Structure 1
Amino acid sequence: MSETAVVWFRDDLRVHDNETLNAAVAGAERVVPLYVFDEREHAGTGMFDLSKKGARWGRFRREAVVDLRASLRDLGGDLLVRHGDPRAVVPAVAETVDADTVHLQTKPATEELADEHAVQSLLADRGIDTERHWTHTLYHVDDLPTPSHDIHDTFTPWREEVEREATVRAPLSTPAAVTTPPLGAAGDADVPSLEELGHDPADASYDDRGVLAFEGGETAALERLDDYIWDGDHLRKYKETRNGLLGADYSSKFSAWLAHGCLSPRRVHAAVERYEDERVANEDTYWLVFELLWRDFFQFQFVKHGADFFRPNGIRDVEKEWRRGPEAREAFERWAAGETGVPFVDANMRELNATGYMSNRGRQNVASFLADAMGVDWRLGAAYFESRLVDYDVASNWGNWAYQAGVGNDSRDNYFDVLAQAEHYDPGAEYVTHWLPELDGLPAEYAHRPWRLSAAGQERHGVVLGRDYPEPPFDVAERFRKL
C-alpha cells in the first residue's frame, strides 16, 4: 500500500467515530488531513444580506480546528490549515501532495453539496478519486428502511419506522495512528486569527450571563458529555428539565459540538445506552435519543427536499402571504434587537445576541412571534439565526423554522402564545429579568406584561413604557386570540 489520501475535514472535526478519517487511514499509507476556513462563511453574506456566520460561531470553529490539529498530532499525524475557497484549495492541495484519493464528509445542504460536486469535478480532471462519507447523523443513510428520497414527511411515522426496522451502528474506534508525510513550512502554518477570518474578537467574547462558555473542540465535547451524563448525573431527569431557561444543565447543550462535528451522535447514543445499563433507564433517558432523532429527521428531509426548504412557502408550497417591505423590515429589526416590547421574546433575543445560544423553548417562541404574530417572512428569522448561533446547523435551523412557520414538516399550522408560554416556563420572571434588567423592579405578574401597569404604576416601579422599555407594537393578547 503506497497511496496518499487527503482527508478534507468539514463539519466532522473529531478523530473519534469518523468514517472519513478511518477510511483514509485504512486505504492509504500516507494521510494528509486538511481543513479550509471557508472565506465565504466567515466574511460573506447570505439571504437578505445578513452575515453568514457570527463571531461566536467563528471562535468555536477556530477552537475546534486547533483542537483537531492537536489530536491528529497526538496520533502521529498533522493538519494542514488553509483559508480561502475550498473549491480551489482542496484540488490544489491534493495535486501538490500527489494524492490518489480525497476523502470527505458529505452533507445534504445545498451549498455544501454544490461545493462537493465542484471539488469532485476538479479532482477528476486531475485524475484524483473522491470518496464521500456520511458522518453527521445517528442513523447511517444506508441503513434507513426507506430511502431518503421516499421517507415520510411527518416525524412520528418516520421515527417509528426507523426505531422498528433500523439499528444504530456502533461508534468507530479512533485510529491507532495517522501517518502524515512531512509538510514542511506548509504544515506549520498558523491557524488564522479571528481578525484574519473577518471577525471582531470583541463580538466573540464570552458573556458570563450565558448558560455555558461553549468551548470549541472534540476535547471539550467529550468533557461535556462526561460532565452532563456521568459526573452531573443529569440524564435521568432530561425530559423533566429540558424546557428550562437558566443554567448549564437543564439540557445537554450538546448541540454546538454536534453541529460542528466535534461530537458524534453515535457516541452520545452509546453513552446513553451505557448509562441505562449501569444507572437507570426511563423516559427521560430515552428523550435525549428522541431529540437526536429529530435532528436526523431534518438531515434526511434535506436529502429529500433540498433547496425547497428555502422557499417562502416551504416544502409544501403552503399559500401564505408574508409581510415584506420597509415596515416588515423595521419589525424584523426590532425583533432581532430584542426590542419588541414583549419581554419573553426580547429576553430570548438578547440572550442570543449576547451569547450565540438560546434554549429550544425560546427558539420556538421567538420564531412563532416573528412568523405568526408579526407575519414577517420567516426566512428573515432563520437567516438571522444563521448569523448568530454558535450551534448553527443548516438542516436543523431551516427545518425547525419552516416547521414553526407552518410551511415545513407538519400540516398543522400551530403557534406559540408567548404570553402563556412565558408565564408557564418562567413563572417568577427570573429569566426575563436576567436578560432585561430594566424590568428587575417589576413584580412577576407584570414583568411578562408590563403594559398592564397603570401610568402611575409604571412611574412607581421605574419602568415607563416608551422610555425605559419599548411599548409592544400591538395588543399582544388580542393578536394571539385571533390566531
Structure 2
Amino acid sequence: MSRMLVWLRNDLRLADNPLFHFSMPPESLLCVYVLDDAWLTPLPGLDASRIGSARLQFLWQSLIELRGELLKRGSDLLVRIGDPVDAVAELVVEHGIDEIRVRADAGWEERQATARLAERLGNAVTLSRQDAGTLLDEAALPMAVDDMPSSFSAFRRRVERAWSVPGAVPAPVTLPDWPAGAPRGFPPLDKVCARAAVWAPDRRGDFAFAGGEAAGWSRLDHYLWESGAVARYKQTRNGLAGDFSTRLSPWLAQGCLSARQVHDAVRAWEARHGASDSSYWLVFELLWRDYFHWAARQEGAALFGGRELPVPGESFCAWRDGHTGVPLVDAAMRELAATGWLSNRARQNAASYLVHDLGGDWRLGAAWFEHCLVDHDVASNWGNWRHLAGVGRDTRPRVLDVQDQAGRYDPDGTYAALWAPAVAAPVGEP
C-alpha cells in the first residue's frame, strides 16, 4: 500500500474526479492545494496580479467547501501559498510520500511545474498524471494531440462522427486516512489578500457567484429544471444581461463541476423534454471548451505569444478603464471590473475593439481578462483571444463592427445605459 499525495489544481470536486478514485486504496492520502504566490504579484507594466479579487474569493469559497466534503469522508485539505513545486516536494519528503496524483492540465506553466516536480523527485516517487474535467480523455480523441486540427469546425466534425462521452462517476463514500502528523487547513482569505476578502460584485450585476460544488449544482439545476432556460439557449445565448446563459463557466474553470457532469445533466433533460437545437448548442459549447484544452496542450508556451507583456499605452488604459467613448465597449469593461464576469457577446466585442479598432496588443487584453475574470480558464481565455486576433492556429482575424453589434444586441441601449450611462446618453442629454 502506498502513501499518496493528491495535488489539486483546477479540479476542486470529489465527484467525477479520477484523483479520488482508487482500484486499491492507498494507506494514507494527503490532499494539497498550493496557491502560486506568483499569481499575487503585479505583472510588469499592467499593475495587476494574475489573479484578481473575484476569482481569488471564488477560489477560497471552493476550497472551504471542498475541505468540508473531504472531512465528511475521513480526509482533509491542506492549502499552502508559495511555489507549488517546492511546497509539494517538501511535503513528499516530510511525510514519506511514494505516489503523487495530479491532473494533466492544459496550461503550459502547470505542465512545466509537473515536469519540474518529476525531475526533482526522480524515481523515488511515482507521479501519475490524470485526464480530468474534459468531455473526452486523450485516449478517446480521434486524433493525436500533436495533430490537433487548426480549426474547431474540423475538430468537431471528426469527434462527432462516432463519439461517446463517458458518464460522470459518483463521489467516493470514504477516503483513506490522513497521514499521521501531517498539517491541516489553510489561512483565512484576509491573510492572503485583504482586498479579495471584502470584495463584493457591483449591485448592478444580475448574478452573484459563490464557489464550491453545491453552488454549481444549484445553478445547473436552476438553469435546466427550475427555469427551463436551456430550452431557449440558442436564442438567448448572445444576450448581455438577464438569465440568457448557463453562467456555469466559473465552476467549470475551478473544477467544482466537470464537463461530463454538465453533459449528463443536459442529456437527462433531453430524455424528459426532447433534444433541441438549444440543448445541442450547450453540448456544442462544452466541446468548444474541450478543443481549447487540447489545443493548449499542443501549443505549449506559444499559447501566450510570449509572456513578456509590452508596456500599455494610453489607448489600452482607456479600454481597460471603460473610457473609449464607445458605449457597448465601455459598458462591457466596466461590468467586467465591477463583477468579475462578462457575457460572451460582450467579451467578443471588447476584445475585437481593442485589437482591431485600437490596434492594441491581444496579449495585454488576455492578461487583463485573466486578472478580472471569475471564470478564467487558461486554455479558453488565451485561446479565445488568439482566435479573435487571428494569430497562431487560425490566422483569420475576427473583426466585429461594434456599432453594428450594439444595434443588434443592445438596440435600445439598456445595457450600455446600465454600466456606462454618461457614455450611452445621446448628445445634449445629461
- The 1:234/1:272 distance shift into structure 2, 3 A limit, reads same
1:157 to 154, 157, 162: 154
Matches within 5 A, 1:435-450: 435-438=419-422, 442=425, 446=426
User: Equivalents in 1 of 2:383, 2:183: separation in Å?
Assistant: 39
Structure 2 residue corresponding to 1:271, chosen from 262, 265, 270: 265
Residue 49 of structure 1: how far off its partner (Å): 5.7
What amino acid sits opposite 1:162 in the alignment? V
Q: Is 1:113 the equivalent of 2:111?
A: yes
Q: Is residue 209 of structure 1 aligned with residue 204 of structure 2?
A: yes
| CA distance in structure 2 between the aligned counterparts of 1:400 and 1:65, rounded to whole angstroms | 27
In structure 2, distance between residues paired with 1:185 and 1:3: 16
- In structure 1, what residue type is equivalent to 2:21? N
- Deviation, 1:27, is 4.0
**8 Å contact from structure 2 (residues 85, 117) kept in 1:** yes
Distance between the aligned counterparts of 2:110 and 2:349, measured in 1? 29
Corresponding position: 1:245 with 2:240: yes
Residues 99-135 of structure 1 show CA distances to partners (whole Å, capped at 9, x for unaligned) of: 220111111211111111111222326x111111011
Shift of 1:203: 6.6
| Consecutive unaligned residues in structure 2, runs of 5 or more | none
Report the CA distance between 1:175 and its aligned residue. 1.0
Percent identity between matched residues is 40
Q: Is the 8 A contact 1:310 1:398 kept in 2?
A: yes
Among 29, 45, 50, which residue is 1:52 paired with?
50
Q: 1:399 to 1:47 in 2, by over 3 A?
A: farther
| RMSD, aligned CA | 2.1
Displacement, 1:28? 1.2
Say if 2:250 and 2:375, in contact at 8 Å, map to a contact too.
yes
How far, CA to CA, are the matches of 1:46 and 1:75 in structure 2? 43
Q: Which runs of 5+ in 1 are unaligned?
A: 313-321, 447-452, 463-483
| Shift in Å, 1:194 | 2.9
Other-structure match for 1:334? 318
From 404, 410, 413, the equivalent of 1:420 is 404
- Please give the alpha-carbon distance, in whole angstroms, between the structure 1 residues aligned to 2:174 and 2:45: 42
Structure 1 residue 5 corresponds to structure 2 residue 8 = no
1:106-185 alignment to 2 at 5 Å?
106-124=104-122, 127-181=124-178
Q: Which residue is equivalent to 1:22? A: 21
Aligned to 1:309: 303
Alpha-carbon offset, residue 296 of structure 1: 0.8
Q: Using the alignment, how far apart are the partners of 2:365 and 2:219 within structure 1?
A: 29
Residue by residue over 1:127-151, the C-alpha shift from the partner in whole angstroms, topping out at 9 and shown as x without a partner, is: 1111110113111111101111102
TM-score (norm 2): 0.95
Give the equivalent residue in structure 2 for 1:286: 280
Distance (Å, rounded) in 1 between the aligned partners of 2:273 and 2:411 = 33
CA–CA distance in structure 2, aligned partners of residues 138 and 154 of structure 1: 18
Three-state SS of the structure 1 residue aligned to 2:156 is helix
Distance 2:167 2:159 in 1: 16
95-104 vs 3-12, greater mean Cα deviation = 95-104
Tell whether 2:234 aligns with 1:236: no
Residue in 2 that maps onto 1:476 = none
TM-score between the two structures when normalised by the length of structure 1: 0.85
Post-superposition Cα deviations, 1:135-177, rounded to whole Å, max 9, x if no partner, equal: 1311111110111110211111110111113321111221121
Question: Do 2:108 and 2:297's aligned partners in 1 also have CA atoms closer than 8 Å?
Answer: no
- Partner of residue 410 from structure 1, selected from 377, 388, 394: 394
Contact preservation (8 Å) 1:6, 1:33: yes
Q: 1:429-458, CA deviations, whole angstroms, 9 ceiling, x for partnerless residues?
A: 111111123357x4xxx4xxxxxx4xxxx2
Partner of 2:384: 400
Q: CA deviation at 1:196?
A: 2.4
2:221 maps to which residue? 226
Contact residue 309 and residue 398 of structure 1 kept, 8 A: yes
The answer on whether the counterparts of 1:246 and 1:431 sit within 8 Å (CA) in structure 2 is yes
Q: C-alpha offsets along residues 155-212 of structure 1, whole Å, 9 cap, x if unaligned? A: 111101111133211112211211223555822x3x3233322351377222221132
Tell me which amino acid in the other structure corresponds to 1:257: W
Indicate the residue corresponding to 1:196 in structure 2.
191
| Structure-2 separation of matches of 1:112 and 1:45 | 18
Q: Tell me the number of residue pairs that the alignment of Structure 1 and Structure 2 aligns.
A: 429
Structure 2 counterpart of 1:220, one-letter code: A
1:105 maps to amino acid: R
1:48 CA drift (Å): 5.1
